[in-house]
């Protein structure tokens, strides 16, 4: 007996979902009759890790920022050109002291951190945009300009 179009479509969808979830789908007729929900991938946020966020800076520019943070804001991690949690914690200490950052010193460059960074960049760089907590092209450009001059 030839499988119906619906069964073939269900088998194909199950195989694709299984492959997308990173598992080998064994899509037989019994699976097609009772498909299982695909496994969800575990995000890195579940482990509390923070990805590097350079906001458009080159490695060289980010190293300049890290050297500045090491000199002025107790940054004691590697000067590797990747602004990760420890870089942002040091930056948040600066932003809290001088630029109106009121959030936790957690190394997460969220909207509060970005708003304070925008205030710094407005005073010491080329930023003329809104203090909106969004790292758009104007913020990124001004951050790069500032990083080249510190």
Domain layout of the chain by residue ranges: 5-41, 59-149
pLDDT reported for residue 119:
97
Q: pLDDT averaged over consecutive 10-residue blocks of the chain (150 residues)?
A: 45 45 44 48 43 91 97 94 96 96 96 97 96 96 96
Q: Round to whole Å and give the CA distance between 142 and 135.
A: 10
Nearest to 112 by CA among 127, 98, 102: 102
Angle at 42 between CA 56 and CA 50, to 5 degrees: 35
């Amino acid at each position: 007996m030839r499988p119906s179009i619906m069964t073939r479509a269900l088998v194909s969808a199950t195989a694709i979902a299984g492959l997308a979830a990173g598992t080998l789908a064994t899509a037989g007729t019994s699976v097609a009759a009772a498909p299982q929900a695909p496994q969800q991938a575990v995000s890195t946020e579940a482990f509390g890790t923070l990805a590097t966020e350079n906001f458009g800076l080159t490695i060289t520019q980010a190293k300049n920022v890290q050297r500045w943070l090491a000199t002025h804001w107790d940054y004691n991690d590697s000067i590797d050109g990747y602004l990760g949690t420890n870089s942002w914690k040091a930056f948040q200490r600066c932003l809290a002291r001088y630029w109106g950052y009121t959030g936790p010193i957690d190394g997460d460059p969220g909207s509060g951190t970005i708003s304070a960074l925008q205030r710094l960049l407005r005073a010491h760089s080329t930023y003329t945009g809104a203090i909106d907590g969004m790292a758009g092209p104007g913020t990124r450009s001004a951050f790069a300009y500032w990083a080249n001059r510190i």
